């Protein structure tokens, strides 16, 4: 068995940090993670820089990335303007991003805070964005945010998430992710959600899990998702992360912890754990503090 890990540290890991990480250090993080074996990386988001200033150098980061044919770069898009910016990174024969990651919110309150759209509006917009991205030659995929709980509305009905996923499938994404944006899910919920999605969605659509470790259930949820049929997992080097529009949300599951879990369980990830721990040490110096990864801390 193999699990495809999407390294989200350069985008989701840094978007809510107090410090502005230099463009060169973002590129250095991405390059080092590629050297460690990462083959899909979320490198930037095409969002309003006044709302998410940590992503204001998106195009500069992308312009500095290595041109590797065995690597796929992902840019997050919240609206069709974001898709246009993603496509523009490929103009003039430039490499640019390979994939667009669209986002639909499972609650109205979060959708309005995050992208000024209700849940249903975000689904309709995402379907249009998925189609527009494919027309531009970009690989389209989509995430359902706050799929297990919303910081403003509380618990989210799983039936609503399933219905949203079925509607999003009409946009022909290669992948649909469910995100525990504020880290409230437990393994039983994940097993139920991913299992039902696998039954209801076309088999060619991959399922992806995105988990935060706010309540120390993140790594257990990763395992539950994989066992239920998710073949792609998001993780962030060191466990960095958080959402500017989700009060109290803390870091993503750490790439080092996820690699340790899977590799020790006989599941291949393609990422070298020792190299990831070394990158953790280097990036802790960039951030000026130790990073949350339990495996990296144990290896100290």
150 is an active site residue? no
Q: Is the pLDDT of residue 244 over 70?
A: no
Q: From CA 87, how far away is CA 66, in angstroms rounded?
A: 18
The whole-model pTM stands at 0.96
Residue range 184-204, pLDDT digits in tens: 999 999 999 999 999 999 999
Q: What is the structure's pLDDT at 249?
A: 65
Average pLDDT over residues 99-128: 96
Neighbours of 298 (CB within 10 A): 11
CA angle 268, 67, 97 (to 5 degrees): 80
Q: Would you place residue 245 in the very low, low, confident or very high pLDDT band (cuts 50, 70, 90)?
A: low
Q: What is the structure's pLDDT at 288?
A: 94
The residues, any chain, with a CB within 8 Å of residue 253's CB and separated by 6 or more, are: 211, 212, 213, 218, 219, 221, 222, 233, 234, 235, 236, 239
Q: From CA 160, how far away is CA 153, in angstroms rounded?
A: 14
Q: Is the pLDDT of residue 255 over 90?
A: yes
**What domain range is 164 assigned to?**
4-298
Kindly report the backbone phi and psi dihedral angles of residue 151, in degrees, each rounded to the nearest multiple of 5, phi listed first: -65, -15
Beta bridge partners of 206: 175
> Contact at 8 Å (CB) between 253 and 213?
yes
Give percent above pLDDT 70 in the chain. Answer: 98
In the set 77, 102, 150, 243, the catalytic residue is: 243
Q: Would you place residue 150 in the very low, low, confident or very high pLDDT band (cuts 50, 70, 90)?
A: very high
Q: What is the structure's pLDDT at 242?
A: 72
Q: What is the structure's pLDDT at 248?
A: 61
Count structural domains, the chain.
1
Q: What is the CATH number of the domain that holds 31?
A: 3.20.20.70
Q: What is the structure's pLDDT at 300?
A: 73
């Amino acid at each position: 068995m193999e699990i495809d890990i999407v390294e989200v540290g350069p985008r989701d890991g840094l978007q809510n940090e107090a410090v502005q990480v230099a463009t060169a250090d973002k590129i250095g993080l991405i390059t080092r993670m590629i050297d460690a074996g990462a083959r899909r990386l979320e490198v930037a988001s095409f969002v309003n820089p006044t709302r998410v200033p940590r992503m204001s150098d998106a195009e500069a980061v992308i312009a500095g990335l290595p041109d590797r044919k065995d690597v796929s770069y992902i840019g997050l898009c919240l609206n069709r303007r974001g898709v246009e910016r993603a496509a523009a990174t490929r103009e003039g024969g430039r490499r640019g991003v390979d994939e667009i990651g669209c986002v639909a919110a499972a609650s109205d309150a979060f959708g309005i805070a995050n992208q000024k759209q209700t849940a249903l509006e975000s689904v309709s917009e995402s379907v249009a964005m998925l189609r527009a991205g494919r027309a531009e030659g970009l690989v389209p995929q989509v995430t359902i945010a706050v799929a297990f709980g919303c910081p403003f509305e509380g618990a989210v009905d799983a039936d609503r998430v399933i219905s949203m996923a079925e509607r999003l499938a009409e946009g022909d994404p290669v992948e649909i992710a469910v995100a525990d944006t504020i880290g409230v899910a437990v393994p039983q919920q994940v097993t139920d959600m991913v299992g039902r999605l696998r039954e209801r969605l076309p088999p060619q659509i991959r399922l992806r899990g995105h988990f935060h470790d706010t309540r120390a259930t993140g790594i257990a949820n990763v395992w539950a998702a994989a066992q239920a049929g998710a073949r792609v997992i998001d993780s962030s080097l060191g466990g960095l992360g958080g959402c500017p529009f989700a009060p109290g949300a803390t870091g993503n599951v750490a790439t080092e912890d996820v690699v340790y879990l899977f590799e020790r369980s006989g599941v291949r990830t393609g990422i070298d754990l020792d190299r990831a721990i070394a990158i953790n040490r280097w990036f802790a110096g960039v951030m000026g503090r130790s990073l949350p990864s339990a495996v990296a801390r144990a290896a100290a």
